[in-house]
A and B are shown apart, each in its own frame.
Chain A
């Protein structure tokens, strides 16, 4: 359920700053300009948090707080003071009436969010609900690792992606870094001295800006203790060293909930091209299999009922590849999509060796395959052209 935050301040400026601070979070901001209005809104809306100024006309914050705490219906609402009144005696006097926290103006939006986040659940709004982030979008990855060689390996291994990998070696540097630029994903070496990885993890989860950021642990496979501890406390996943870059990339994409379909499916001149990569590992095939039907259905829905299945980057055929190709052809037939296959000499020769694949007909180039689709009848078997 959406949190309601009531800001009670006679300054419209402060109310705007509060609204601005929470705009990226799923919460409703209610406003009142003095204590009388504040009590009325609180009784009507039952907010989850009240941010309360002290010096206000009509009824000041201290009186509003006293009345709120005397009302059995309202006394449970947490109140955080947000005021320029900050002398020690004043703060102590108000604290005795019953408040959850106290911010003395001037204040940074970050501090307000951090303190509010300790009282209520602040869920970030997705940047653009209608647009899913894709594998080709930029992202910031923070690596907290005291061994420079590992940072360099990760940077080199992810060089071909649009992700910026920033390495730091200490807890302090990590905190500075995520305060300046909140990362999209954080990797922490579990072998940092003095259990720093787990201290950092707690800090990440208690900070409103990084509360939901995926956190990976980095550890040598034989270090069972830290590995188990990381899984227990809730690290998103643990990557073992030596790092398999393909696996790391795939896990990053999954953790950041990226749409990876563009790696395999692309619309080219009204024809959907499904391209298998050179290295068709089981995770890759599983990913393609998940996207297959939705992508073909999406193409048909948009009026594009032709597809090319391009396997020419592959060096050899194995059972996983055969299965995905059969699944693709069956799905095309189900959806009434004309299709053509593109392969290389090696693949075509290998396909001749299997009972299920020996009758498959391949084109030698993408252009030939596309050209063939113009003359073919819909939903029939693969158009005849080149066969080894």
Chain B
């Protein structure tokens, strides 16, 4: 099994930028422009601690990958964007979505995350790191932070789309 350290930051950055760009363009008809790298160290955290509860509620999709390289990706979407994306994807009006409930938005964002992580990890597979996807899960909230354990390498990238900031938080387990 190759050591995860062998995977360069450039490979990770280019893969996630391509994956987010492809999925957003193909499924949501939106461009996603890479923004700043929020952090790439073990001690980075996202989202930043909210001030006076004014943080925008987030819908966070998570999908892992296991194999020669192990890790998971959190895809943070602001709630208003998650609703707009679901509406576009399913051809439903905001009123219909409201009636259908959170479950529909969760499932749609789960699938968007699945496609994004799938596209990312397919790039790793083709670069010589075969791995498989896990089943998506969803996290919702406006006041939380994710703190990885010390044996994990973390890479955080932000993207701008339709006036919203979305974030891909990539955690890779260090190779043995």
Contacts and interface: CB of A to CB of B under 8 A. Distances in A.
B134 interface: yes
B143 interface: no
B26 A84 contact: no
A87 B114 contact: no
B89 A11 contact: no
A106 B115 contact: yes
Interface string A56-88: 110000000000000000000000000111111
B133 A55 contact: yes
A84 B91 contact: no
Contacts of A16: 90
Interface string B104-138: 10011011001101110110111000111111100
Main secondary structure of the interface of B (DSSP, over half): helix
Given A11-B110, A17-B89, A106-B23, A88 B132 contact: no
A86 B133 CA distance: 10
A105 B126 contact: no
Given A106-B23, A106-B27, A84 B107 contact: no
Interface in A1-28: 10-14, 16-17, 20
B126 A106 contact: no
Contacts of A17: 89-90
B22 interface: yes
Given A17-B90, A57-B135, A85-B122, A107 B114 contact: no
Given A11-B110, A13-B111, A106-B22, A85 B126 contact: no
Q: How large is the interface on B (under 10, 10 to 19, 20 to 34, 35 or more residues)?
A: 20 to 34
Nearest to B108: A13
Given A12-B107, A106-B119, A87 B135 contact: no
Given A16-B90, A106-B23, A107-B26, A84 B125 contact: no
Nearest to B121: A87
Interface residues of A, number: 25
Contacts of A95: none
A104 interface: yes
Interface in A37-60: 54-57
Interface of A: 10-14, 16-17, 20, 54-57, 83-90, 104-108
25 contacts: A10-B135, A11-B110, A13-B104, A13-B108, A13-B110, A14-B111, A17-B89, A20-B90, A54-B133, A84-B122, A85-B132, A85-B133, A86-B119, A86-B122, A87-B122, A88-B125, A88-B126, A89-B125, A89-B130, A90-B125, A90-B132, A105-B118, A106-B22, A106-B27, A106-B115
Please list the 5 inter-chain residue pairs (A to B) with the smallest Cβ-Cβ separation, ordered nearest first.
A84-B118, A87-B125, A106-B26, A13-B111, A86-B122
Interface of B: 22-23, 26-27, 86, 89-91, 104, 107-108, 110-111, 114-115, 117-119, 121-122, 124-126, 130-136
